[in-house]
Structure 1
Amino acid sequence: MVEVTEFVLSLREKAFLYGDHSTYRTQLSRKLLNTRKRLNIATKNRGKFSKKPAITGTAIAEHPEYLHHELLTAERAWAHAMAMKASHSADTKGMTSKTRSHIVSRLEKAARVAERLVEALESGESGANIDDVLNARAYAALLKGAALFEKQSWEPCLQNYSICRIIYSALTTRSDRGDIFRDLLSETIDPSIRYAAYQLKIPRTLPIPAIARKAFIAAASPKVVDEVREIDAAVLDDSAEAAKGTPTTLTWRGREVKIEDAAIADAWASVGAARDKLTEKLASSGTLHPKDMAANYDDILAASQDAVDATKQAIDELRAEGVTQGDARMQSLQITRTAVSYEMISWRIGRNRVLVGENDGAKLEFGSTSRRKKKAEAQEVAERSKDEAPGRQIARLKEKAVLYDGILQSIESIKELPGVANDESLSNQLDATSQYFTALKSLAIARSHTIAGNPVNALALIKHALDLTQAATAPLSSVSDSTGPRNIQVTAQDVTFLRDTLTGELHRARALVEIFNSAAAQQKQQLQDQKTALPLLARLSVYPASGSVDLNNIVTYPPRLEPFPVKPLFLDTAWNYVTYPSPAAEGGAAKGRASPAPAVVKEEAKAPEAKPEQSKPAKKGWFGFGR
């Protein structure tokens, strides 16, 4: 037997990967036609349409394709309704009543087809078990609830969605693919139940499971209730829900507020469960690589983000109802928002602290960032730190600086939360925490300057980091040491370790600067000695820095054969005695085409003979260019 919900959701998932509801409807029409052809119930081309008989349990038992036929028919009607709703969602004037009635009719048709399928499966001839029948019933309730949601019939809509939620919650414990039901509950069913409950003026203090349980018992038949109890009795048990320990109050900085919204209470309970799970993982896993350890923070970060979103949604709903900021409910929600936001940012900072390495990156470690087992890691790190290229070491320190920047930005975002600026103790602690991580960032940059060969810059940065650490020691000295997961809390042990590390780095940097200055002075003296070794004749363009000139070394004696620059000489006189024979003297030249004779240089200078002037031919053409 095909599982109804999994079959339907797989069709939707494949269609929505590259298309929309219209594409999905087209695909369903093609699949439906092929199914009818295989069942031999398709209307022939140009044939007269005849109404087909209802699908029975016997037909489904003989040919499972009939089950696919009913599901494809219901899904095509649902896709048609969703396509129309999506096409009119951008209309500024809203949806017309005719369009809404058309959408409702398509959804009601889909619900009727699904209900017929439930009746066929309930018969003993179909061979379906209790899980298959409940699965089909939940799918029918889902379509019926969508139709009632569009009709704005809130009470029956809430009842149908509650039936759907309770059945899927029970089937989650029996099915191997419970994640499909969980996604459907969180994305479609729970928001619809919450909105219908809001329209029915049901208090937000009631959680969604309690609302769904009450509506399910009132709307479902005793047979369905018994079937659900047979699968999972805890779904309908109020004591099981109370045993989960959903918190009703929240304490922030010594002030206790009541949690009136059920969604916030559930999210805050999830944060507590994720915190315990993270503590257990880190305690039982032993030594982990920083990346592996940071990956364990994903669950608590997601849970705290859900709590922040639920609080923000509750505040927005109160503002939409016109509740002012001075109202007690709004004040409680603002305190809750600050508390859950502080919790979320605190774990985000803790994740970055884990990534920078041991002792918040104060130790100078250069190792592989890939996820590897810690086999003989101490020896490998020592060898890598010696052989690794300086550019790679600077890149690692740059990554640390980026993580420190993220931590500092998170601390600044905490200062902007409501009520934090008025808390002087918390503000001082945040300022000291900011100074602590700024000192770590300065230490990382100073180490990169040391590797690059700039010890003077490194010394200045380390001195600045030590000053910041000493300023942060007093406010953070009262924070007790904690063995739990890393978060925003900087303990006195962390500050003490950083101060001791910076003190040692400061002495080391001063020694390096002294060595650097000595080497520079020695190099300068060597250059000065090289200059003084030259005679004064070779140093005429250099001003004596000492003010005195060594007159004992004026020239090199005895003189050596050395090259010296000389201006090149051109013997221009020879050009006065170069003559070229005229063309007339070449009697054998043919119409000026013969090449001129080589130049003749006379041995003795003779006065040029006077030649009679020859008559110049008259110019022809424009500007003398013609012939």
Structure 2
Amino acid sequence: MDFPLANTYGARSELFLQSADDYHRQRHRINKRLNKLRRNLNIVTKDTKNYKEKCKENTISAENYDMDTAFGDLSLYQIERDLLYAQETRLLLDVHTSKSKERFLVSKYKKALKNAHHLLSVIANEQDQYKVLEILTYTAIIDGSLAVTKRKYGDALYSFSVARCSLQFLYTHQNLPAAFTKELYYDIIDLVVDPALKVAALQTKSSTISDLAQLSKEQVFSNRGKLSYLSKAIQIVEKEGPSYITPSNEEESEVLREITWSSYTAKICSNEISLAIMKANEELKQVVDSDTSSYDSALMSYLDAISFQEQEMERSEADADDAESQEQHIVLTYLKYNYLLLRIRRDIAIMKDLDNKAMAKNNLSRQKLLELWKDYLKVNDSILDSFNEVKELPGIANDDDIMDMIITLDVYFQIKKQMKLAQAYLISNGYVASLALVSNCNDLIESVKPFSNADELKGNLPKNSDIEDLKVKVNEEKSKLFILASYFKDNGESAPVGSKYLIDEVKKFPEYSATQLLENIAPLKVDFEPVNVKPVLFDIGYNYIKYEGVGERHFSKKNTDEPMRENVSDDSIDRKKGGFFGLFGR
């Protein structure tokens, strides 16, 4: 009995009841639960012949409930059993109409409403006002369903309006157990209340049928004394949240009716979404670019507005035409676009804080510096992910100005990421890797287009001047790293950054012993290696200079079957030696 709507509609939603047979089986489960409760409470009526006279359930009072809340559960499940029977009958009527079944349906709703009134008298002393409000909401739904069945649409409009306002109030204030979520209240609105409200509004020719939230507030506000037993529900809601039953007056308060974004204009379908957007825009004005904590309220407000818009789109998906659906998608894209840009601005502020933290400490160790830069790169990756989400939003690809701006910002932060990686390689003496990253940055920045519309860049988003500054920095780093990579090894033995020799770091005095100090003052030991020289000139001269007294030259025999001539004349030898390299004079 702690959560009446969760124990009834919540149990139904968990079982995914669809057909008449599903409701029939659930009704039998409730019957078994009722029999168990009767036995536990010792109120079983054995004299079935005189059941109406001797039935103990009709004599349950507030005193019984004060002693044991299970008496309230008994009445609640009796109502639920009748409603399940009514829903089962309604589904059968959809297949085959029958006057007898229609009368039976009305009788079940009447019986459920009678038991609901009895339950309200039983819980008269209940201190938990949210529990009482759930019972009153349950009763309002029964009363509205009976009125629709009897075609009394004016009464149905009021009852379902009370139920809708109460469910919205419960969504904000009631805390459900872990087994259920607050979406249960909106599920009841979407599946039970709103369809009946639309039918009643059409039959009564209401002027605000397009905005059911406004319609329900108007009905509750103007007819609050129409049903006395529902007046308590209005009092509970009005005490803690009067805005849930007070219709908005356009003359007294300006409500945002449409939004203009890029080249699109779209109408806002409900006051609830309008107020959420206005709240998000007001929170946005309170954001301070350098204060990372100031972004939280605005980000949460945009998320709430996105959630309201998505829920509204799900509700009206079946009834909305193409034009209305397109306008709703424009509003959703507008909210997501502003949320993502604000999240990017928050991440930029975090990156600047990390940079300032690294620069503020001169004697920061390499490990600590690398840890800070690792966090920096994580935030940078988050920014790049946000840009990818922006590119995937509907309509962004069709807007050339916004798309060019997003691409430029995306490339800008890709360069920032690679420049930070290059710095990390630099302090680790990885000059070649650092130079490769900076060279790639140079190629990227040459292709960056300047922003055509600087007015779109709000807050701390990069401007054209930031792109120019980054271009200068990339060129400077490239020149410096080219020199370092050309003259120093990657292993750090001769590197001026992080060198082991004292002469390269005169401001630091490491904890060396006397022997280690002498060995590491400067690189005194230089190893020379001999270079093998080939006597090229001697080879050239040997081919054409004739040495006297040497005698005949002997040639080795070739491994062929034909023997070489043994007697070679001196003239033929001289003739073969003639000419430069033996090529000329033959």
d(CA) in 2 for partners of 1:26 and 1:450?
Answer: 75
Shift of 1:408: 3.1
2:337 is paired with a residue of what secondary structure? helix
d(CA) in 2 for partners of 1:455 and 1:510?
Answer: 12
- Could you say which residue in structure 2 is the equivalent of 1:515? 484
Matched, 1:262 2:254: no
d(CA) in 1 for partners of 2:27 and 2:427?
Answer: 64
1:209 is paired with a residue of what secondary structure? helix
Comparing 107-116 and 451-460, the one that deviates more: 107-116
Conservation of the 8 A alpha-carbon contact between 2:161 and 2:197: no
- Could you say which residue in structure 2 is the equivalent of 1:533? 530
1:267 is paired with a residue of what secondary structure? helix
- Could you say which residue in structure 1 is the equivalent of 2:384? 405
Q: Residue 246 of structure 1: which of 237, 255, 261 is its match?
A: 255
Any gaps of 5 or more consecutive residues in structure 1? 324-329, 367-376, 537-543, 551-627
Shift of 1:300: 0.9
- CA RMSD, aligned part only? 5.5
Matched, 1:436 2:438: no
AA of the residue aligned to 1:69: L
**1:225-256 alpha-carbon deviations (Å, 9 max, x no partner):** 76566552765544568756432233334776
Q: Residue 4 of structure 2: which of 8, 11, 30 is its match?
A: 8
AA of the residue aligned to 1:503: V
Conservation of the 8 A alpha-carbon contact between 2:86 and 2:108: no
Q: Residue 343 of structure 2: which of 337, 340, 351 is its match?
A: 351
Shift of 1:341: 0.6
1:195 is paired with a residue of what secondary structure? helix
1:317 is paired with a residue of what secondary structure? coil
TM alignment of 1:600-619, pairs within 5 A:
none
Structure 1 residues 198, 407: closer, same or farther in 2, change over 3 A?
same
2:260 is paired with a residue of what secondary structure? strand
Conservation of the 8 A alpha-carbon contact between 2:30 and 2:77: yes
Structure 1 residues 442, 7: closer, same or farther in 2, change over 3 A?
same
- Could you say which residue in structure 2 is the equivalent of 1:371? none
Conservation of the 8 A alpha-carbon contact between 1:142 and 1:164: yes
Any gaps of 5 or more consecutive residues in structure 2? 495-525, 540-586
Matched, 1:277 2:273: no
Structure 1 residues 176, 243: closer, same or farther in 2, change over 3 A?
farther
d(CA) in 1 for partners of 2:538 and 2:104?
Answer: 111
Structure 1 residues 101, 244: closer, same or farther in 2, change over 3 A?
farther
AA of the residue aligned to 1:221: K
Shift of 1:519: 1.9
d(CA) in 1 for partners of 2:538 and 2:145?
Answer: 104
Shift of 1:98: 7.6
AA of the residue aligned to 1:50: Y
Shift of 1:43: 4.6
AA of the residue aligned to 1:42: V
d(CA) in 2 for partners of 1:363 and 1:36?
Answer: 71
Shift of 1:137: 3.5
1:297 is paired with a residue of what secondary structure? helix
Conservation of the 8 A alpha-carbon contact between 2:258 and 2:265: yes
TM alignment of 1:144-543, pairs within 5 A:
144-145=143-144, 157-167=156-166, 183=183, 185-189=185-189, 192-199=192-199, 200-201=201-202, 206-216=210-220, 221=226, 223-224=228-229, 227=232, 230-231=235-236, 232=238, 237-238=246-247, 245-253=254-262, 259=267, 262-263=269-270, 265-277=271-283, 279-280=285-286, 282=287, 287-288=291-292, 297-307=299-309, 310=312, 317-319=319-321, 330=323, 334=326, 337-355=329-347, 357-358=349-350, 363=355, 379=361, 386-388=366-368, 396=375, 399-400=378-379, 402-414=381-393, 417=395, 421=398, 425-444=401-420, 446-447=422-423, 450=426, 453=430, 454-468=433-447, 471-475=448-452, 477-478=454-455, 482=459, 490=461, 492=463, 495-497=464-466, 499-501=468-470, 503-520=472-489, 533=530
Q: When the two structures are aligned, how many residues end up with a matched partner?
A: 483
Identity %: 13
d(CA) in 2 for partners of 1:547 and 1:108?
Answer: 121
Conservation of the 8 A alpha-carbon contact between 1:213 and 1:236: yes
1:456 is paired with a residue of what secondary structure? helix
TM alignment of 1:559-570, pairs within 5 A:
none
Shift of 1:309: 5.9
- Could you say which residue in structure 1 is the equivalent of 2:511? none
d(CA) in 2 for partners of 1:385 and 1:101?
Answer: 87
AA of the residue aligned to 1:464: D
The TM-score with structure 1 as length reference comes to 0.59
1:251 is paired with a residue of what secondary structure? strand
d(CA) in 2 for partners of 1:135 and 1:194?
Answer: 17
Structure 1 residues 262, 397: closer, same or farther in 2, change over 3 A?
closer
- Could you say which residue in structure 1 is the equivalent of 2:549? none
d(CA) in 1 for partners of 2:106 and 2:470?
Answer: 70
Shift of 1:224: 4.8
- Could you say which residue in structure 1 is the equivalent of 2:63? 61
Shift of 1:515: 1.2
Shift of 1:164: 1.9
Conservation of the 8 A alpha-carbon contact between 2:176 and 2:182: yes
d(CA) in 1 for partners of 2:353 and 2:109?
Answer: 61
2:452 is paired with a residue of what secondary structure? helix
Structure 1 residues 172, 417: closer, same or farther in 2, change over 3 A?
closer
Shift of 1:273: 0.7
Matched, 1:73 2:78: yes
Comparing 233-242 and 62-71, the one that deviates more: 233-242
AA of the residue aligned to 1:268: S
d(CA) in 2 for partners of 1:67 and 1:313?
Answer: 33
Conservation of the 8 A alpha-carbon contact between 1:148 and 1:157: yes
